[in-house]
Structure 1
């Protein structure tokens, strides 16, 4: 099994490999390689919104879709499916940092070598074998001279000093906050790497609604 073979399988569900790492005994996982999966762009949101989970009117459609398609992929690949929701809670943020493809950004949000500040993980595959992994990627923040993320928040809730969650939610309740609610976080959008990722506004609006509800 190779990462390329895994990537080919999950692409059928508009997912892609967002990084991988080798486990240690301290992880307490019955496998030797964890492969993180995120949305493949462009095209992820139209693919998801045509799914049964998106159309049945029930709660948590994206999590239910992720559970179904990643569980099936895991079965096809002789792997175990792991998720960032439900129980047990898995440390996806720290896992992401171990892949060499995600880092802490200047505003302390996770930044990814492909998805930028739009990075999200729909699940992971735990493989029994120790797969060959690529060398770490280059942190996009290190070649970003302007660092627009530091000044993009209209509520000054996200900065180098950290995240003022209360200020963020208060701003989203105002008329001025509708822009963030309808098209996504201004800080995440300002990231040059995010702008290359082509995430649809409708997807960002969905996540903002989940975040602010």
Structure 2
């Protein structure tokens, strides 16, 4: 949990695996980040929930996987239960997951959660890349806004950069991420990274928080299906 975030009954969220929380005042966010969310006048704050480490997947598995999007559904249910218990009078609206466009990585950067690793996943020195954004809600709350955190950025001091050499598609060798090379590598018949990013797994930072293999495969299967749906892909 972000120690600067003070949410009522935050321990309930932590126990349920949503152990990253950040409160933003909408008025303090860049207007172009807020506009796509189409807030109504009473919506004054955005609360971002994320998970770091293995706990959330353990909770999802304990409840049972009965749909194509069990993590999203579990996360939204958890936030809704927390709201009903901790802030029963609050008006709220889920804006992620959903159809609305939302700049999660920009929000994460403002919160201090997100700086991109070479393999284009957020990373910090505590959790490595083993965290994700799960739910964002707009509310009529007047909670203390969270201060940004700084867990440190490990990539600047990484000498060997094992993620670059571990990518069989060579998507990182140019110094910037090559999305086409990554997609082509994942779609190859004998791909080693179709159901899990080998570059991400090679990164030693936060290795103790590495997701369970079943979670890695589950998430990778979803992104692989999206890649296969691209018209330009073979």
Equivalences for 1:31-180 in 2 at 5 Å? 31-32=44-45, 34-52=46-64, 54=65, 56=66, 58-78=67-87, 80=92, 82-126=94-138, 128-131=141-144, 133-137=146-150, 138-159=152-173, 160-165=175-180, 167-174=181-188, 176-177=190-191, 179-180=192-193
Report deviation, 1:196.
3.1
Q: Distance in 2 between matches of 1:163 and 1:82?
A: 33
Of 103-112 and 197-206, deviating more is: 103-112
Tell me the residue number matched to 2:15: 12
Flag the structure with larger Rg: 2
Q: Give distance in 1, aligned partners of 2:109 and 2:148.
A: 14
Structure 1 runs, 4 residues or longer, greater than 6 Å off: none
**1:38 aligns to what SS in structure 2?**
strand
Q: Is the 8 A contact 2:96 2:137 kept in 1?
A: no
User: What is the TM-score with the length of structure 2 in the denominator?
Assistant: 0.73
Going from structure 1 to structure 2, the CA distance change for 1:2 and 1:106 (only over 3 Å counts) comes to closer
1:4 is displaced (CA, Å) by 5.9
Instruction: Give, in whole Å, the separation in 2 of the partners of 1:194 and 1:83.
Output: 29
Contact 2:18 2:75 in 1 (8 A): no
Q: CA RMSD in A?
A: 2.9
3-state SS of 1:39 partner: strand
What do residues 33-89 of structure 1 show as CA deviations (whole Å, max 9, x unaligned)? Answer: x4432234333323211225x1x3x33222222221222223333353535331223
Question: For 1:201 and 1:73, how far apart are their aligned partners in 2?
Answer: 29
**Paired residue total:** 206
Q: Determine the C-alpha separation between the residues in 1 that align with 2:159 and 2:6.
A: 32
- Structure 1 residue 135: deviation in Å? 5.0
Q: Provide the rounded CA distance (Å) in 1 between the counterparts of 2:169 and 2:5.
A: 45
Q: CA deviation at 1:103?
A: 1.0
SS in 2 for 1:162: coil
Structure 2 unaligned blocks of 5 or more? 226-234
Cα distance change on mapping 1:60 and 1:107 into 2, 3 Å: closer
What is the distance in 2 between the residues matched to 1:105 and 1:192?
A: 12
